[in-house]
Structure 1
């Protein structure tokens, strides 16, 4: 709502910093002498007779003394007109504009000690604030500008050169080429903050021209690219590759110590059939670290689904299926293949029965072969069907495995990935 230039900004006790700036501007607009009177105060003319102070009769005041009184009167009138009834009660007994201003300032900003504490907190916030990868430059600058304005309202102005340098060192990596160009081509002591802000806003707009053709958002917030990333299953692929690298690193570390364990031979997965002399030889790694025998673990390095508890199988075709080799070089025979069904878990088909296996393993590669999508994040692993529905969820356990606990809401998975 618009406000008349002759009416002071209203103050009801909330957002004092905002009102203080506007009220100072209003008092200055009345006359610069009014604001000087508010800052320095005013005392009625007086004289000292025989050691006693006597107020001078108003009829004897000089022209300058009358003018000073008028500046104070205008200031106190404007302040009284700006206050709500609740705030007016605090200052109704005041006779000078300075008294009114000081009482409001102390009430809503605190004493000098409190103001110094607030300034220290603002200084810490100023140094700590950084632009995040998922926020726009305008959002970051609004936070920084709020700190700068709050410090100014408490009586301490942050130098513009300090703000310029703070902005440049707080930007994320995507701004690095622009920051380098500014630092090399300009004297930062001469750069105006408004010029810098405009330049960075323009640069961000050029970065935000994606395949979607829209402007005004960062790449991380592009809806179209977000859908494409999901369709390409990038997070799942990255996490899968990271797990593979982790397993390979662990195997290489043990390979360097193989001379201390002459009975253990480490070879590539594809060479296991030739070396073992068995019809089939599969691999399982998570079984070495898993601690909970009642939990199913999602294993990116496990060849096929495996279970060592025969009682969990609802159907089982017993056969001699070869051997399973574990990460420590040990092995166990495959005695059959069937279907496992437990309360609160999906129906799991094509599960190998491995004698002596202490953990229940779900193969990531077998899940992907059945046209499901697997996504890993820091503390969770999620399996999606072709329509994007959640089929299975695993949580990261204390032993750094992804374990699936029973949940009655899971969608059952039949053979070939069909939903039941």
Structure 2
């Protein structure tokens, strides 16, 4: 499987090859096809292959069932890619109480209170920006976003930072 290929494209190639082999008199069992697909997947599917092998009886698995399972995992991996560039760019240092800790985690921040759903006004902390300034966070909530495919998703634990001019 090429690194840029989708599961659907790869499975289609496997079917085309096995059909071509069938016309030449070669036949392969469903189990052989499943095992070949699992062995030849892109390395990014390594953990998926391990999970499929542990959770299923490969000797009775069909290519159709395997294809569906791989597509679900591929979709999850693609969904996770959407957030990662955003999360990497939005890292901040937070404080809880009077001591400051660098968590190395992402804090989404918004300066527009009206965008936050379920705002928790009891939440209090501070964030330290790259220029060294500490800013109070008088609450956190969630923001509804629309993905490129039209689906909707919430970003949770978004800090409300009233002093912000643009959302992070």
**RCO higher in 1 or 2 (8 Å CA, sep ≥ 6)?**
2
What TM-score range do you get, normalising by the shorter chain? Answer: 0.3 to 0.5
